[in-house]
Structure 1
Amino acid sequence: MRVHPRARAKRGLLHTLAAPPTNAHRSQRVSDDTRTTTHESPAPSLDGLSYGNWTEAEKLALSCRILAKEGHCETLAGQITVRQPDGSFLTTPLAHAFSEIRPDSVMRIDDSLRVLEGRGVPNPAVRFHLWVYRRRPDVNCVIHTHPPYVSALSMTGEPLQIAHMDATPFFDDCAFLPEWPGLPIADVEGEIISAALGTKRCVLLANHGFLAATPTIEESLYMSVLIERAARNQLIAQSAYGRLKLVDPALARESHDFLLQRSIVNASFAMFARQITGERP
């Protein structure tokens, strides 16, 4: 009997789907006894991802414009600082919107907020960034803003919940300061916020906003974009249903480590930058 080619192909597909997976192709194994999941396949290759090539002043300016596009800075509240090898800091002048910042807007200051290069006056709230740098020698870029959804979440008294894959970069990496210590322009607020941050990459500040503190501009920007989106998703889900289904901790850790690979962070920064500049990779 002659078998139509389309039927033959369908049988082949069904046979493939029905066949048990081999060790080479098995991506998950779930134990009925422990209900834990292990992943056996090697991580996918990330070779070929496109990155940019910018100076630190250019990356700082791009970060400002990306954050403006993401709705992070609707007032004068919000700062970015970048530690330099000589102990000085790059930042932006007070009373300039993030959307206005260009590389030649960037100023360099010392740890007393004195201007070393550039024009303008630094934001006095940069003072609390200095406490983070003192506690964390691994940190070279601090971003602090009051975006709408993070601000709304900060008003609920609840921490960020890891209930979606896109929130997993914050798994065990986002602290929560449950009380607002007041305007962050004095040393006492810097002590409180830096202590709350601890060794983590981010801290959600009750009745306030958030802070991201990482080794690079790219990573701090990446975390800043992701935390606002994670807060938005959490608030939408809670308003629709109330209770959240949290991600399994083991899987959240695995996803956290994967999504915070330098290649993914830097490629994400380059993608955000192209959306601002209109450049192609």
Structure 2
Amino acid sequence: MKKYDGVNQAMLDRFATRPGRKALLPELSDKAQVALMCRMLVREGWDDHIAGHITYRLPNGNILTNPWELAWSELTASDIVTLDPKGNVIEGEWNVTPAIGLHLQLHAMRPDAHVVIHNHPHYSGIWACMQRVPPVYDQASAYCGVELPLYNEYEGTFENEATSMSAVEALGDAKWALLANHGSLVVGKDLRQAHLRAITLEWRSKRAYQVELGGGGTPLSDEEVNKVSIADDNGFPFIWEAMARKELRLDPNLVE
């Protein structure tokens, strides 16, 4: 059985579903979860002032997203904007980024992509600007596998529909990508999965950058990466809740 730090998946599943245990998080609205995601990712390096956008497609087809005017670090649940599948605002007091088309196209072409995250993170942004894919040097960098596409046809920002569509087509069925001279893109079936992918991408990029600054090292082989990668679609058990609790301790009002 696959193991994470010596704990097999069956054991993790049992702990994750064991009845009678204390709830790891209070009940949260969809909007509160999107606001939490923004706050959580800021601490992981996904923080370029007011740049970046997260979309979360609901079961009814509507889409939740962060507003254009506010930084991820200040968002609350009440700031989250609701869009229809075509990108029209149907609820909310703020505007939406002109680059939302990239997300709408991804949601339309990828039935599995209920969450789309784009920003200009610190370390993965460095690798994107170098037009290089960071090697995998440690276990935490390996959680989401080896393959990391690099989309290297920079044509400007994503307000242009043809530009964003070319990025969508280049992504294919990948879980994430580096956008050359631009930033990073992550998709997921839900917020938990997308969160793990986003933090793993930034950790992998940071660790690889540090190793290169230290004089270089030996990356893990693809075989080793596959041994420690997390095949479970629900992501690493408990990490979403732990990071969410951290944000709630710092600002309990963000869910309002």
**TM-score category of the 2 structures, normalised to the smaller one:** 0.7 to 0.9
Q: CA deviation at 1:250?
A: 2.1
Cα distance in structure 1, aligned partners of 2:50 and 2:243 = 23
Q: Deviations over 1:39-65 (max 9, x none)?
A: xx9645113346434221111010111
Cα distance in structure 1, aligned partners of 2:54 and 2:197 = 13
Show the counterpart of 2:11. Answer: 45
Cα distance in structure 2, aligned partners of 1:96 and 1:42 = 42
Cα distance in structure 2, aligned partners of 1:119 and 1:94 = 11
Q: Residue 277 in 1 paired to residue 248 in 2? A: yes
Kindly tell me: are residues 240 and 186 of structure 1, through their superposed partners in 2, closer, same or farther at Cα, counting changes over 3 Å?
A: same
Show the counterpart of 1:248. Answer: 221
Q: CA deviation at 1:263?
A: 5.8
8 Å contact from structure 1 (residues 160, 204) kept in 2:
no
Q: What is the aligned counterpart of 1:75 among 14, 33, 49?
A: 49
8 Å contact from structure 2 (residues 119, 184) kept in 1:
yes
Return the letter of the residue paired with 1:241: G
Kindly tell me: are residues 163 and 82 of structure 1, through their superposed partners in 2, closer, same or farther at Cα, counting changes over 3 Å?
A: same
Q: Deviations over 1:56-96 (max 9, x none)?
A: 11110101111223332232210000112222210111110
DSSP-derived class of the 1:61 partner: helix
Worse overlay, 42-51 or 189-198: 42-51
Q: Deviations over 1:76-129 (max 9, x none)?
A: 210000112222210111110111111111111123322101111111111111
Q: What is the aligned counterpart of 2:120 among 126, 146, 151?
A: 146
Show the counterpart of 1:188. Answer: 162
8 Å contact from structure 1 (residues 154, 208) kept in 2:
yes
Kindly tell me: are residues 182 and 199 of structure 1, through their superposed partners in 2, closer, same or farther at Cα, counting changes over 3 Å?
A: same
The structure whose RCO (Cα within 8 Å, separation 6+) is larger is: 2
Q: Percent identity?
A: 23
Show the counterpart of 2:254. Answer: none
Output aligned runs, 1:106-121, within 5 Å.
106-121=80-95
Q: CA deviation at 1:205?
A: 1.0
8 Å contact from structure 1 (residues 143, 221) kept in 2:
no
DSSP-derived class of the 1:155 partner: helix
Q: CA deviation at 1:248?
A: 2.2
8 Å contact from structure 1 (residues 151, 209) kept in 2:
yes
Q: CA deviation at 1:146?
A: 0.7
Kindly tell me: are residues 140 and 164 of structure 1, through their superposed partners in 2, closer, same or farther at Cα, counting changes over 3 Å?
A: same
> Which structure would you say has the larger Rg?
1
Cα distance in structure 1, aligned partners of 2:38 and 2:107 = 20
8 Å contact from structure 2 (residues 131, 150) kept in 1:
no
Cα distance in structure 2, aligned partners of 1:121 and 1:181 = 24
Q: Deviations over 1:224-252 (max 9, x none)?
A: 1221121111111112114x412122221
Paired residues, what number?
238
Q: Deviations over 1:137-182 (max 9, x none)?
A: 0110001111111111111121132222111133244221123231
Cα distance in structure 1, aligned partners of 2:107 and 2:173 = 12
Q: Which stretches of structure 1, 4 residues or more, deviate above 4 A after TM superposition?
A: 41-44
Show the counterpart of 1:207. Answer: 181
Return the letter of the residue paired with 1:268: I
Cα distance in structure 1, aligned partners of 2:150 and 2:221 = 20
Cα distance in structure 2, aligned partners of 1:216 and 1:173 = 20
Cα distance in structure 1, aligned partners of 2:235 and 2:161 = 36
Cα distance in structure 1, aligned partners of 2:103 and 2:80 = 17
Cα distance in structure 2, aligned partners of 1:179 and 1:263 = 31
Cα distance in structure 1, aligned partners of 2:144 and 2:153 = 20
Worse overlay, 108-117 or 120-129: 108-117
Please tell me the root mean square deviation across aligned C-alpha atoms, in Å: 2.3
8 Å contact from structure 1 (residues 111, 130) kept in 2:
yes
Show the counterpart of 1:33. Answer: none
8 Å contact from structure 1 (residues 90, 109) kept in 2:
yes
